[in-house]
Amino acid sequence: MNNVLVLVRHGESEWNRLNLFTGWKDPGLTDKGIAEARAAGRLLKAQGYRFDVAFTSDLVRAQRTLTLILEELGQTGLTTHQDQRLNERDYGELSGLNKDEARKKWGERQVHLWRRSFDVAPPGGESLKDTAARVLPYYQAEIWPAVKAGRNVLVVAHGNSLRALIMQLEGLSGEQIVARELATGAPIVYRLNDDGTVKDRRDLSAAPVS
């Protein structure tokens, strides 16, 4: 299997569990998040996937998830690139706030707009459009060339940095991509054509773990 691109959102973090806006803050994984990462690695191994290179963000929760996946795959020495351009969307003044507290401060409608619109940024933070503006050039310069060269590539990142990639890969609109939910620790496997379009897509989250 060549020209494979696998995307994995990091396992549950401490702030995911507490329902906090995280963004560029750097909490670690929960025990559940560690289990999710290991399960993702076992899933990929059971399906016969091996990787030539991996990419992750500058944040611990994604890096730790990648490390655990590679341990399960028996590929701990894999060449890995870390870059903040794959970081989660920066939530600015929302970072560290409980989502219910944010709704009390700014109102349900405004918080929903910040969370679920494509181009409206929270105070001091990024919209999904802003996030895509840093993620997609990095994909084109670093990740896609590896896939195009016939290598199997693993990307472990965050809900919104991965949404930016998925939007491009699947040709989705901004409205469509903000509605896409990404489970933690659930591999999404793409096989790509030579022009970068998607040949097929598989979601491994429902596959049995051996």
Residue 49 lies in a domain: yes
Q: How many domains does the chain have?
A: 1
- In a domain? residue 152: yes
Residue 193 lies in a domain: no
**Angle (CA) 93 119 84, round 5°:** 60
- Residue 44 resides in a domain: yes
First to last CA, the chain: 21
- CATH number at 144 reads 3.40.50.1240
Average pLDDT value over all residues in the chain:
94
Q: Is 29 a domain residue?
A: yes
Residues with a catalytic annotation lie at 10, 88
38-42, 53-57, 59-63, 175-179: segment of lowest average pLDDT = 175-179
137 pLDDT higher than 80: yes
Is the pTM higher than 0.75? The answer reads yes
How many of the other CB atoms lie within 10 Å of CB of 7? Answer: 23
- pLDDT (mean) for 106-129: 94
Tell me what pLDDT residue 208 has: 41
pLDDT at 53 over 90: yes
Give the range of the structural domain holding residue 41, as residue numbers without chain letter. Answer: 6-188+199-206
Q: What is the mean pLDDT of residues 154-177?
A: 95
Say if 194 falls within a structural domain. no
Asked, for residue 129, whether it belongs to a domain, the answer is: yes
Distance of CA 80 to CAs 8, 153, 164, Å? 15, 10, 21
Indicate whether 123 belongs to any domain.
yes
